[in-house]
Chains A and B, each alone.
Chain A
Amino acid sequence: MTASDHPQAIDRSRQLFLSRSTLLTSGMLIVGMVGVLVLNALPAASPLHVSSATVALLGKYFTYMLLALAVDLIWGYLGILSLGHGAFFALGGYAMGLYLNAQTSPLPGWQAVMSWFPVAALAIVLAPGLLALVFGWLAFRSRVTGVYFSIITQALTFALMLVFNRNEMGMGGSTGLTRFYELLGFRLASEGMTVALFIASGVAVLLAFWLCRAIVVSRLGRVSMATRDAEARVRFIGYRVDHVKLALFVVSAMIAGIAGALYVPQVGIINPSTFAPLFSIEIVVWVALGGRATLYGALLGALVVNYLKTVLTGAMPDAWLFILGGLFVLVTMALPQGIAGLLARRRGRQEASA
């Protein structure tokens, strides 16, 4: 269900694809990445020098941005609010964690296959993808929508958290997977690796952004937005709504899995708390604050909220939950369009006055 072969349609999608916001976002991402790298390469004495710790932090933010993109794709453009996207993120992370652990000591049982990178890479995408496929197929086929869908996704991630907390799972129980030393033969605790992971995460964000953008402007995206706005009508016209939902849900889960896989080597641990419902719902607030159904809003929201979190949990740890909770309330009541909505309104006013 991609853009049809009709030349005019291709032309139109290309126009939509290369819209102003796409160009601006891509440009800012690239400039930001290159800028950080250049500043990082400056001598440490220089006042403009960006330390490797900051680079690592930004790399982590990139994975969060990727995750936010995944949630925005289905919440913004399909109208299904997943409160369990942390589960897909964590599954990708666990796949990566197993691969990293296999580098130091051989894993027992079936996990041994994870020592081979191509298999691990497949698992990173397929594990969340398959879960999303099965879960989504069950849910969408029986038309579980709205808050019901949100609640059962939350139950899903809660159940997975309980399962991964068990030592019998062979996933390190409540400690999770840790003690990572090597990735693809290179030492993890080196500056070069920090920069490499930063670049990889940044490139992944860029690619995922283009992918989501492409999906959104394609016919699949059009149908999905129609589904979001009037599901019954789309169904009556003759579209298989459940297939549309399933396709987007699986793609979104896979992006989340990749985000998790990039996240794990940068923070050095993956444990069941990633499955906690609170984390999943935090992702939603990133997207909500940034602005739903804009994609760049999700990137912006993830960056802003996580930057705030880093600063505030350090400066006043007690206040963070007040602020996060306040953000939820504020965004839903005062800023339904998020920051992106504010920006759009301002631009609208400028254009009107011009």
Chain B
Amino acid sequence: MTRIPLAGAQHAVRLLLLFLLPCLLSAWGQSATADVSESRARALLEALDTDSFQARGDAARAIADSDAEQKTRWLQALLEGRLGKARRGDRFYIITDDSGREWPIIDAISYEEAGTGTRRTVEAFRINNELRTRLQGLLASLSLTSGDEAARLRAADRLLGEVAPDNVETVRQTLADEESPAVRERLEMALALFAVTRGDAEALDTLRGNLDTRVRNALTPIAAGDDALAGQTRAVLEGIESKRAWYDRAQTLFFGLSAGSILVLAAIGLAITFGVMGVINMAHGELIMIGAYTTWLIQQALPGQPGLALALAIPGGFLVAGAFGVVIERTVIRFLKGRPLETLLATFGLSLMLQQLVRTVFSPLNRRVSSPEWLQGSWQINEALSLTLNRFGVLLFCLAVFAALWALMRFTRLGLEVRAVTQNRAMARAMGIRATRVDMLTFGLGAGVAGLAGVALSQLTNVGPNLGQGYIVDSFLVVVFGGVGNLWGTLVAGMSLGVINQVLQPWVGAVLAKVFVLVGVILFIQKRPQGIFAPKGRTS
């Protein structure tokens, strides 16, 4: 393995000399300092013009080791197959755009515009896979020594598993000069992994508990042997695996809680209208949809400011959906008091009308609501665990909404009146509570919370007329599962259904997991019709 690069190096040196001579001669007589550096640069590039990939790699290496200013750009262009030589003459070009038939080109040494070239006039240097790997390694070590900390960190990260006998010295040198602890740690990892592949058992200690897949992949073949090193490696691998398993579980839990928080958000409004008031509102899903469309509308009105739009959408979605709720209560629901099946049918009719209304007004197409920057991307805790920010945001939002609602029911005058009316309507009225007004406000509150769910949902999925439909069955099940009239029950039920669903998914797939959860809840309701938290004592 060591012989071949050596032979290649000899070959390269020979070529270098061969080409250096005419270059030096031709450069003779041109002006002073630029002369020397230009001729050096030319010589470096000439070395690339060879038929052997091996020699081309060595020439690239020579470029990386040289002090030419353009070296990063050359290597990058070579890697992308955009470094070439004129078929006639000896100029070198970088193709700045190779998408068309005519390529705009610049001179590789002076970076001057050089018109256009085509396949006929410019011959791009070709590379193979092995050379590509070498080039990537070279580029990584180039940015290791230069650039800011972030660039060095990326470069160091890329080195993991890429350390080879021909660059190990460079890496050691870099480690000695490096000051940033994060970069140092990665370099140490990369060196340790190299040492382990060379049979050094000591270095294994550094890798213990490392979660990077590259470490795992590199260690697996070593652990397959039957010597002492293999045994130790197996132990380290097992440690890594169990650590990964834990993080996987944490990840599943997070996804479950996030799915659960959506369920809770969708169901919590229903927990008020259905659970507390006893009104079956099949249009609940459409109120969620209205919240989501409000978000979209506000965002359309404030282009380029998704953060502000989202902040405004929270009260906006609440108020718009709440207003719809109040109207529904005033026009339909209050006439159907005490007739739950009729309420169910009438509100179902309303849901169809609302869907069609949105379809007619906004078109049946799905709309995309963009997230503000602070909700995009993910929070990478380590190699095995990353939390998507928008899901994390929804989880927090769900808890905030729940807390606010709970406080409202517990501490405010309205909450007190609501509880009084639900417990004993006649007695509450006798005490001077205007029950019809409380009904209206409670229903509006539940509808407003549905609107909040819509605001949250718009950050996760596209907004369309059918958005709410998918949540209605789930929401009712969550409310019934948690125990009707019990906000805490809804929270626990939603979260646990989300987690159970997520845990089942890897085994049976997404659809069957959902079916199992549905069947499970149906069976649970059979067994315990009052839900998880049955109301204690007598209910009125």
Residues in A lying within 8 Å of B, measured CB to CB: 81, 138-139, 141-144, 146-148, 150-152, 154-156, 158-159, 162-163, 165-166, 277, 281, 284-285, 288, 318, 321-322, 324-329, 331-333, 336
Output the residue of A155, A285, A318, A325 with the most chain B CB within 10 A: A325
- Residues from chain B with a CB closer than 8 A to the CB of A143 are 529
Contact A332 B529 (CB under 8 A): no
Q: Whole-angstrom distance between the alpha carbons of A141 and B529 in the complex?
A: 12
A132 to chain B, nearest CB (A): 14
Q: Whole-angstrom distance between the alpha carbons of A150 and B280 in the complex?
A: 11
Q: Say yes or no: is B88 at the interface (Cβ < 8 Å to chain A).
A: no
Q: Which residue of chain B is the closest to A276 with respect to CB atoms?
A: B469
Interface residues of B in 176-235 (CB under 8 A from A): none
Q: Say yes or no: is B348 at the interface (Cβ < 8 Å to chain A).
A: yes
Q: Say yes or no: is B1 at the interface (Cβ < 8 Å to chain A).
A: no
Q: Whole-angstrom distance between the alpha carbons of A138 and B520 in the complex?
A: 13
Contact B518 A159 (CB under 8 A): yes
- Residues from chain B with a CB closer than 8 A to the CB of A288 are 345
What are 6 pairs between A and B in contact, CB < 8 Å? Answer: A141-B526, A142-B526, A147-B344, A151-B477, A324-B352, A333-B336
Contact A329 B350 (CB under 8 A): yes
Q: Whole-angstrom distance between the alpha carbons of A332 and B360 in the complex?
A: 25
Q: Whole-angstrom distance between the alpha carbons of A336 and B336 in the complex?
A: 11
Q: A147-B280, A148-B529 are in contact. Are A329 and B332 (CB under 8 A)?
A: yes
* Partner pick for B512 among A151, A166, A322, A331, CB 8 A cutoff: A166
Q: A162-B515, A322-B356 are in contact. Are A155 and B344 (CB under 8 A)?
A: no
- Residues from chain B with a CB closer than 8 A to the CB of A329 are 332, 346, 349-350, 353
Contact B353 A166 (CB under 8 A): no
Q: Whole-angstrom distance between the alpha carbons of A203 and B57 in the complex?
A: 86
Q: Whole-angstrom distance between the alpha carbons of A277 and B519 in the complex?
A: 16
Interface residues of B in 338-367 (CB under 8 A from A): 340-346, 348-353, 355-357, 359-360
Q: Which residue of chain A is the closest to B283 with respect to CB atoms?
A: A325
Contact B527 A142 (CB under 8 A): yes
Contact A321 B355 (CB under 8 A): yes
A317 to chain B, nearest CB (A): 10
- Residues from chain A with a CB closer than 8 A to the CB of B411 are none
- Residues from chain B with a CB closer than 8 A to the CB of A147 are 280, 340-341, 344
A139 to chain B, nearest CB (A): 7
Besides A138-B526, A158-B473, 5 new A-B residue pairs in contact (Cβ under 8 A), listed by A number: A138-B522, A155-B473, A166-B512, A321-B355, A325-B349
- Residues from chain B with a CB closer than 8 A to the CB of A165 are 511
Q: Say yes or no: is B335 at the interface (Cβ < 8 Å to chain A).
A: yes
Q: Say yes or no: is B514 at the interface (Cβ < 8 Å to chain A).
A: yes
Contact A162 B521 (CB under 8 A): no
A199 to chain B, nearest CB (A): 34
Interface residues of B in 473-531 (CB under 8 A from A): 473, 476-477, 480, 511-512, 514-515, 518-519, 521-523, 525-527, 529
Q: Whole-angstrom distance between the alpha carbons of A81 and B344 in the complex?
A: 10
Q: Which residue of chain A is the closest to B515 with respect to CB atoms?
A: A159
- Residues from chain A with a CB closer than 8 A to the CB of B525 are 144, 148, 152
Contact A159 B519 (CB under 8 A): yes
- Residues from chain A with a CB closer than 8 A to the CB of B356 are 318, 321-322, 325
Contact A327 B473 (CB under 8 A): no
B28 to chain A, nearest CB (A): 76
Contact B348 A163 (CB under 8 A): no
B270 to chain A, nearest CB (A): 11
* Partner pick for B342 among A141, A281, A324, A332, CB 8 A cutoff: A332
A332 to chain B, nearest CB (A): 4
- Residues from chain B with a CB closer than 8 A to the CB of A285 are 345, 349
Q: Which residue of chain B is the closest to A327 with respect to CB atoms?
A: B349
Contact B515 A333 (CB under 8 A): no
Q: Whole-angstrom distance between the alpha carbons of A141 and B527 in the complex?
A: 10
Q: Whole-angstrom distance between the alpha carbons of A169 and B527 in the complex?
A: 29
Closest 4 interchain pairs by CB? A328-B349, A325-B352, A325-B353, A321-B356
* Partner pick for B335 among A159, A163, A324, A333, CB 8 A cutoff: A333
Q: Digit string of B350-394 for contact with A (CB within 8 Å is 1, else 0)?
A: 111101110110000000000000000000000000000000000
* Partner pick for B340 among A146, A158, A325, CB 8 A cutoff: A146
Q: A146-B341, A150-B344, A327-B349 are in contact. Are A155 and B477 (CB under 8 A)?
A: yes
B413 to chain A, nearest CB (A): 30
Q: Whole-angstrom distance between the alpha carbons of A81 and B348 in the complex?
A: 14
- Residues from chain B with a CB closer than 8 A to the CB of A152 are 522, 525
Q: A148-B480, A285-B345, A322-B353 are in contact. Are A158 and B518 (CB under 8 A)?
A: yes
A91 to chain B, nearest CB (A): 16
A117 to chain B, nearest CB (A): 31
Contact A332 B515 (CB under 8 A): no
- Residues from chain A with a CB closer than 8 A to the CB of B344 are 81, 147, 150
B291 to chain A, nearest CB (A): 20
- Residues from chain B with a CB closer than 8 A to the CB of A336 are 342
Contact A139 B514 (CB under 8 A): no
Contact A328 B473 (CB under 8 A): no
Q: Which residue of chain B is the closest to A79 with respect to CB atoms?
A: B341
A131 to chain B, nearest CB (A): 12
* Partner pick for B341 among A81, A166, A321, CB 8 A cutoff: A81
Contact B526 A326 (CB under 8 A): no
- Residues from chain B with a CB closer than 8 A to the CB of A156 are 522
* Partner pick for A324 among B349, B360, B514, B521, CB 8 A cutoff: B349
- Residues from chain B with a CB closer than 8 A to the CB of A148 are 480, 525, 529
Contact B341 A150 (CB under 8 A): yes
Q: Whole-angstrom distance between the alpha carbons of A314 and B40 in the complex?
A: 80
Q: Whole-angstrom distance between the alpha carbons of A231 and B210 in the complex?
A: 66
Q: Whole-angstrom distance between the alpha carbons of A155 and B475 in the complex?
A: 11
Q: Whole-angstrom distance between the alpha carbons of A329 and B355 in the complex?
A: 15
- Residues from chain A with a CB closer than 8 A to the CB of B515 are 159, 162-163
Output the residue of B340, B345, B522 with the most chain A CB within 10 A: B345
* Partner pick for A162 among B345, B357, B480, B511, CB 8 A cutoff: B511
A275 to chain B, nearest CB (A): 12
A319 to chain B, nearest CB (A): 8
Q: A144-B526, A318-B359 are in contact. Are A151 and B352 (CB under 8 A)?
A: no
A79 to chain B, nearest CB (A): 9
- Residues from chain A with a CB closer than 8 A to the CB of B342 are 332, 336
- Residues from chain B with a CB closer than 8 A to the CB of A139 are 526
B132 to chain A, nearest CB (A): 40
- Residues from chain B with a CB closer than 8 A to the CB of A333 are 332, 335-336, 346
* Partner pick for A332 among B336, B353, B480, B526, CB 8 A cutoff: B336
Contact A163 B511 (CB under 8 A): yes
- Residues from chain B with a CB closer than 8 A to the CB of A331 are 345
Q: Digit string of B305-348 for contact with A (CB within 8 Å is 1, else 0)?
A: 00000000000000000000000000010011000111111101
A277 to chain B, nearest CB (A): 7
- Residues from chain B with a CB closer than 8 A to the CB of A151 are 473, 476-477, 480
Contact A332 B477 (CB under 8 A): no
A86 to chain B, nearest CB (A): 14
Q: Whole-angstrom distance between the alpha carbons of A203 and B519 in the complex?
A: 37
Output the residue of A143, A151, A277, A284 with the most chain B CB within 10 A: A151
